[in-house]
C-alpha cells in the first residue's frame, strides 16, 4: 500500500512537467495545454453563483461577530443586563463555535458540503429570530449560542468548499473574497447597528441565510467530496457544471480521482490519522497560527470595539463607521494581491500590522492613564484600532485558506475539527475575559495582544509554506513526497 501511495504521488508530481501552461486573454487565466486541447475555465456563471452561496455563509458569520459591538448599551439597558451578563452574551458565541468546530470537519465529510449548508441555515435563522423576539436573557443567550454553532462549522465549510470548486489560478483570490465577506458582515453590523434598534438589526441579519437557501438549489456539490465516495458520474457532472459544458475536464477529473484513490489505499480515515508524522508540521502550523491570531485579540476588538472606542475617548459611531470603511478597502486590496504575492507574504504583513497596532493602542491607553497627552492619546487609539482591523482584514482569513490547501481529503475533516476547536477555544477565552482584563489594565491587555501577534509573525516566518499557483493535489503530493 505504501508503494501505491508513492506511485500516485510520483504521477502527480510528474504531471507538472508534462503539460504546458498557456495564458488565456479572454478570462485572464492560465490553462493546461495537452495534445491540442486547452482546458481553461477559471470563471463560469455557476462557479460565480457557488462562490456567492459560500459568501452568504461568511457574511452571516460576520453579522454574528459584529452584532454585540453596536448594541451593547441598548441591550444592557432594555433587558437590564450587568457587565458580567453581557460578557456572557458576547462570549457565548465562541462557546457555540467550540461545539460547532469540534464536529465541523466530520459533519461536512459525512453529509457533504451542500447538505451541511442546509442544516446550518436552520440554526442561523433560528438563532437570529430568538434574539429578535426575546423577552428574557436566557433566550437571548440561546439564540447567540445557536449562531455560534453555525459559525463554528461555516467558517471552515466556506473555505473548504470554495477551495475544492475553484482552479489553482483563482483559488486564493476566490477564497479570500469569500472570507472577506466576514469583514463586510461585521461592517454591516457596525454601520447599520449605529442607526437601528437591536431587534430590527437581528431581523435584518437573517437575510444572508434566506438568500443562501434559495441559491443552494442551483449549485453543485464539491468534486473532491464526490470523488471520495466514488460517485464518478456526479464528479464529472459537477466539474462540467463548474468549468463549462465545453471544457476539457479529463485531466482534472483524473487527477482528483487518482489522488483520492491513493489516499484510500493507506488511510482508515480515523481521527488519529492526523497525528501521523507526515501531517504533524501542517497541523502545528495551521493550529498555531489560528491560536496565536485569536490570542492576539481579534474577538475582543470585534465584539466590543464600540466600548473600546468610548473608553479611549473616541465617538463610538464615528469609530465603528470608520472601521467598516477600513475593513472594506483593505479587504479588497488583500483579494487582489493574494494570488500575485502569495499567502505567506500577506500573512507576515498582517501579523506585523497586528503586533504594531496593538502596541500603539496600548501606548495610547498608557498616556491616557497618566494624563500625559490628553489630546493626542485618543488619536493614537483611533489609529491603532483602525490599523488593527485593517491588518486583520488583509490576512486574517489566510489560516483557513491554508487549512483547505495543506491537508488531503482523508484527514481534512479531522484537521478542520482540531484546528477550528483550538482557535475557537482561545477566541472564547479572549472574548469572555476581555471586559474584566481591560478594567484591570487597558494598557496591559493590548501589550499582551501585541506579544501574541509578534509570536504569530515568528511562527509564520519559520513554518508557513507558500502554496500559490499549484493545484490542491500538487500541493499535497509535494508535501507527501518531501516527507518520505
297 DSSP assignment = T
Tens digits of residue pLDDT in 304-323: 777 788 877 777 777 778 87
Do 154 and 283 sit in the same domain of this protein? Answer: no
Q: Which region holds residue 155: left if phi is over 0, alpha if psi is between -120 and 50, else beta?
A: alpha
Between CA 90 and CA 69 the distance in angstroms is 9
Same domain, 107 and 223: yes
25 is a domain residue: no
The pLDDT score that the predictor gives to residue 355 is: 95
Q: In whole angstroms, give the CA distance from residue 11 to residue 476.
A: 12
User: Do 85 and 137 touch, CB atoms closer than 8 A?
Assistant: yes
The HSE-up count of residue 373 (CA atoms within 13 Å, CB side) is 11
Clarify whether residues 240 and 126 are in a common domain.
yes
Q: Are residues 373 and 461 in the same domain?
A: yes
How many other C-beta atoms lie within 10 A of the C-beta of residue 9?
A: 21
Q: What is the pLDDT of residue 17?
A: 42
Q: Is residue 439 part of a domain?
A: yes
pLDDT digits (tens, 9 = 90+) for 153-199: 887 888 889 888 888 777 777 877 776 788 788 888 888 988 899 99
Closest CA to 147 of 134, 135, 159, 160: 134
What mean pLDDT is predicted for residues 130-153?
Answer: 93
What was the pLDDT predicted at 68?
A: 86
Alpha-carbon dihedral 105, 468, 15, 478, rounded to 10 degrees: -60
pLDDT for residue 115? 93
Question: Residue 62 falls within a domain, yes or no?
Answer: yes
Confidence band for 207, pLDDT divided at 50, 70 and 90: very high
Check: CB of residue 75 under 8 Å from CB of residue 201.
no
**Phi, psi of 167, rounded to the nearest 5 degrees:** -85, 165
Q: What is the mean pLDDT of the chain?
A: 80
Lowest mean pLDDT among 70-84, 116-130, 269-283: 269-283
| Claim to verify: residue 299 and residue 448 sit in the same structural domain | yes
Q: What is the pLDDT of residue 63?
A: 92
Specify the pLDDT at position 141.
94
109-129 pLDDT tens trace: 888 899 999 999 999 999 999
CA dist 57 and 63 (Å) reads 10
3-class state of residue 22 by DSSP: strand
Q: Where are the alpha helices (DSSP H) in 133-246?
A: 137-165, 171-192, 198-204, 207-215, 223-228, 232-243
pLDDT band at 20, cuts 50/70/90? very low
Of 223, 218, 219, the C-alpha closest to 251 is 223
Q: Are residues 125 and 230 in the same domain?
A: yes
Spatial CA neighbour of 354 closest among 458, 462, 468: 458
152 CB neighbour count, 10 Å cutoff: 29
Statement: residue 7 has pLDDT above 70: no
pLDDT of 271 reads 59
pLDDT of the residue at 288: 92
What does the DSSP 8-state code read for residue 221? P
Task: Note the pLDDT of residue 73.
Answer: 85
Shared domain check, 344 and 381: yes
The residue count of the chain comes to 484
Whether 176 and 118 have beta carbons less than 8 Å apart is answered as: no
Q: 181 and 309: one domain? A: no
What the block records as the C-alpha cell of 20 is: 504546458
Which residues are bridge partners to 39 per DSSP? 32
Q: By the 8 A CB rule, do 298 and 327 touch?
A: no
Q: Would you say residue 257 lies in a domain?
A: no
Q: Which of 246, 265, 281 is the last residue of a domain?
A: 246
Question: Do residues 242 and 277 share a domain?
Answer: no
- Asked whether the predicted pLDDT for residue 201 surpasses 80, the reply is yes
Q: 23 φ, ψ to 5°?
A: -95, 135
Q: Measure the CA dihedral 30/34/36/41, to 10°.
A: -30
- How far CA 351 is from CA of 58, 146, 289, 297, 398, in Å, comes to 22, 31, 10, 12, 11
Q: What is the pLDDT of residues 430-483, one digit of tens each?
A: 887 887 888 888 889 999 999 999 999 999 999 888 777 676 666 666 665 555
Domain count, the chain: 2
CB atoms within 10 A of CB 95: 21
For residues 221 and 10, the model is more confident at 221
CATH number of the domain where residue 63 is located: 1.20.1250.20
From CA 279, how far away is CA 326, in angstroms rounded? Answer: 37
What gap in Å lies between CA 98 and CA 133, rounded to an integer?
A: 25
Which three cell numbers, joined as nine digits, stand for 441? 489594565
In terms of domains, do 221 and 281 share one? no
What percentage of residues in the chain have a pLDDT greater than 90?
A: 24
**Residue 222: other Cβ atoms inside 10 A:** 23
Residue 140 lies in a domain: yes
Using the predicted structure, report yes or no on whether residue 345 has a pLDDT greater than 60: yes
Is 182 a domain residue?
yes
CA-CA-CA-CA torsion for 86, 87, 93, 96, nearest 10 degrees? -110
- pLDDT of residue 338 exceeding 70: yes
* 228 and 300, same domain (yes or no): no
Give the pLDDT of residue 15: 44
Residue 262 covered by a domain:
no
| Poorest-pLDDT segment among 79-93, 220-234, 267-281 | 267-281
Last residue of a domain, one of 246, 261, 292: 246
Q: How many other β-carbons are positioned within 10 Å of the β-carbon of residue 372?
A: 10
Cα gap 451→358, rounded to integer Å: 9
Co-location of 159 and 291 in the same domain: no
Host domain of residue 349: 273-483
- CA distances for 195 relative to 58, 65, 199, 231, 319, angstroms: 23, 18, 12, 50, 14
Spatial strand order of the sheet with 20-24 comes to: 20-24, 29-34, 37-39
- The confidence score (pLDDT) of residue 480 equals 57
Residue 176 CB burial class (10 angstroms; 0-12, 13-18, ≥19): buried
In a domain, 22, yes or no: no
Is residue 264 over pLDDT 80? no
- If pLDDT is split at 50, 70 and 90, which confidence band does 5 have? very low
Element (H, E) at 325: helix 316-341
Amino acid at each position: 500500500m505504501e508503494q501505491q501511495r508513492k506511485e500516485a504521488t510520483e504521477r502527480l508530481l510528474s504531471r507538472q512537467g508534462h503539460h504546458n501552461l498557456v495564458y488565456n486573454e479572454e478570462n485572464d487565466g492560465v490553462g493546461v495545454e495537452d495534445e491540442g486541447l486547452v482546458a481553461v475555465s477559471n470563471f463560469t456563471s455557476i462557479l460565480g453563483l457557488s462562490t456567492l452561496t459560500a459568501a452568504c455563509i461568511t457574511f452571516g458569520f460576520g453579522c454574528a461577530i459584529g452584532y454585540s459591538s453596536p448594541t451593547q448599551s441598548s441591550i444592557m439597558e432594555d433587558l437590564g443586563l450587568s457587565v458580567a451578563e453581557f460578557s456572557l452574551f458576547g462570549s457565548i458565541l465562541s462557546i457555540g463555535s467550540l461545539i460547532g468546530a469540534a464536529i465541523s470537519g466530520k459533519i461536512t465529510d459525512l453529509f457533504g458540503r451542500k447538505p451541511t449548508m442546509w442544516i446550518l441555515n436552520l440554526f442561523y435563522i433560528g438563532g437570529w429570530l430568538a434574539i429578535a423576539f426575546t423577552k428574557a436573557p436566557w433566550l437571548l443567550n440561546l439564540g447567540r449560542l445557536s449562531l455560534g454553532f453555525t459559525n463554528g462549522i461555516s467558517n471552515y465549510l466556506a473555505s473548504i468548499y470554495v477551495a475544492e470548486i475553484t482552479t489553482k489560478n483563482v483559488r486564493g483570490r476566490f477564497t479570500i473574497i469569500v472570507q472577506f465577506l466576514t469583514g463586510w458582515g461585521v461592517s454591516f453590523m457596525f454601520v447599520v447597528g449605529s442607526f437601528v434598534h437591536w431587534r430590527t438589526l437581528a431581523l435584518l441579519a437573517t437575510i444572508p441565510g434566506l438568500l443562501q437557501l434559495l441559491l443552494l438549489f442551483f449549485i453543485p456539490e464539491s468534486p473532491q467530496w464526490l470523488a471520495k465516495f466514488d460517485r464518478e458520474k456526479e464528479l464529472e457532472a459537477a466539474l462540467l457544471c463548474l468549468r463549462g459544458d465545453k471544457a476539457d475536464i479529463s485531466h482534472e477529473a483524473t487527477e482528483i480521482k487518482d489522488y483520492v484513490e491513493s489516499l484510500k489505499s493507506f488511510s482508515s480515515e480515523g481521527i488519529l490519522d492526523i497525528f501521523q508524522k507526515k501531517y504533524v508540521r501542517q497541523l502545528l502550523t495551521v493550529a498555531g497560527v489560528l491560536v496565536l491570531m485569536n490570542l492576539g485579540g481579534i474577538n475582543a476588538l470585534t465584539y466590543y470595539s464600540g466600548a473600546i472606542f468610548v473608553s479611549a475617548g473616541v465617538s463610538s459611531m464615528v469609530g465603528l463607521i470608520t472601521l467598516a470603511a477600513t475593513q472594506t478597502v483593505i479587504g479588497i486590496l488583500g483579494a487582489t494581491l493574494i494570488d500575485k504575492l502569495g499567502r505567506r507574504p500577506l500573512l507576515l504583513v498582517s501579523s506585523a500590522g497586528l503586533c504594531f497596532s496593538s502596541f500603539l493602542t496600548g501606548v495610547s491607553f498608557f498616556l491616557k492613564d497618566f494624563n500625559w497627552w490628553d489630546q493626542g492619546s485618543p488619536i493614537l487609539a483611533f489609529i491603532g484600532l483602525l490599523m488593527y482591523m485593517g491588518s486583520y482584514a488583509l490576512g486574517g482569513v489566510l489560516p483557513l485558506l491554508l487549512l483547505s490547501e495543506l491537508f488531503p481529503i482523508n484527514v481534512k475533516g479531522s484537521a478542520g475539527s482540531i484546528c477550528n476547536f483550538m482557535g475557537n477555544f482561545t477566541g472564547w477565552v479572549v472574548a469572555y475575559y476581555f471586559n474584566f482584563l481591560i478594567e484591570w489594565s487597558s494598557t496591559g491587555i493590548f501589550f499582551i495582544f501585541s506579544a501574541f501577534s509578534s509570536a504569530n509573525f515568528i511562527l509564520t516566518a519559520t513554518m508557513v509554506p507558500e502554496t500559490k499557483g499549484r493545484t490542491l493535489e500538487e500541493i499535497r503530493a509535494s508535501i507527501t513526497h518531501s516527507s518520505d
